[in-house]
Structure 1
Amino acid sequence: MWTGTQFTGSLAPSATNSWFTFNWPSDWHVVWYAVPTSPYGGGAQIEWSVTVARGDATHTTYWITVRNLTAQTVNFEGRFAVLN
């Protein structure tokens, strides 16, 4: 398994935004997740979703949408894990 941080982001209170990353080999199994890096009370609360778009026959683009569920600005990292 290979893991890393692909991008960092910041969201205003109750905001939602999307980030993309491209040219990932289509035959890789990639898991995307978002991890808060700024605390909010007991911990920053965010949710995320991932949309997959085929770039071409051998490459994939991922859109990661993150939503801030708090009334404070939240900083976070967009991370990945390649499972194969």
Structure 2
Amino acid sequence: MRVGVQFTGSVPANSTRRWFTHSWPQAWHVVWYCIPKSPVRDGPAQLEWKIKVCRQSSTRIKYFIEAKNLSNRTLQFEARYAIMNR
């Protein structure tokens, strides 16, 4: 398994933003997850995410990553991936 950070993002308080990442090989099984970076705060959940996908071509996949900030402060996060079958 190979893991990494695709990008870092910022979401204003109580809002949702969307990014995309493209040209992933269609044969790879990719799992996406988002992790809050700051502010560091123990308590209720800070972040919710959704992953959507489209086939760019017969061999490439595009992922759309939607991050929703559940807090009342701007949130920095990492969009991470795990390639399960490379």
TM-score range, shorter chain: over 0.9
The residue correspondences of 1:26-41 to structure 2 (distance < 5 A) are 26-41=26-41
Between the aligned partners of 2:80 and 2:41, the Cα distance in structure 1 is 23
Partner residue in 2 for 1:64:
65
Q: TM-score, normalised by structure 2?
A: 0.93
Between the aligned partners of 2:20 and 2:26, the Cα distance in structure 1 is 15
Partner residue in 2 for 1:10:
10
User: Unaligned 5+ residue runs, structure 1?
Assistant: none
Alpha-carbon offset, residue 41 of structure 1: 3.2
The residue type paired with residue 51 of structure 2 is V
Between the aligned partners of 1:40 and 1:24, the Cα distance in structure 2 is 32
Alpha-carbon offset, residue 15 of structure 1: 1.0
The residue type paired with residue 77 of structure 2 is F
Between the aligned partners of 1:40 and 1:31, the Cα distance in structure 2 is 24
Aligned partner of residue 38 in structure 2, secondary structure:
coil
Percent identity between the two aligned chains: 48
Structure 1 contact 40–72 (Cα < 8 Å) conserved: no
Partner residue in 2 for 1:21:
21
Alpha-carbon offset, residue 40 of structure 1: 4.8
Comparing 31-40 with 54-63, greater Cα deviation is found at 31-40
RMSD between superposed Cα atoms in Å: 1.2
Between the aligned partners of 2:18 and 2:27, the Cα distance in structure 1 is 24
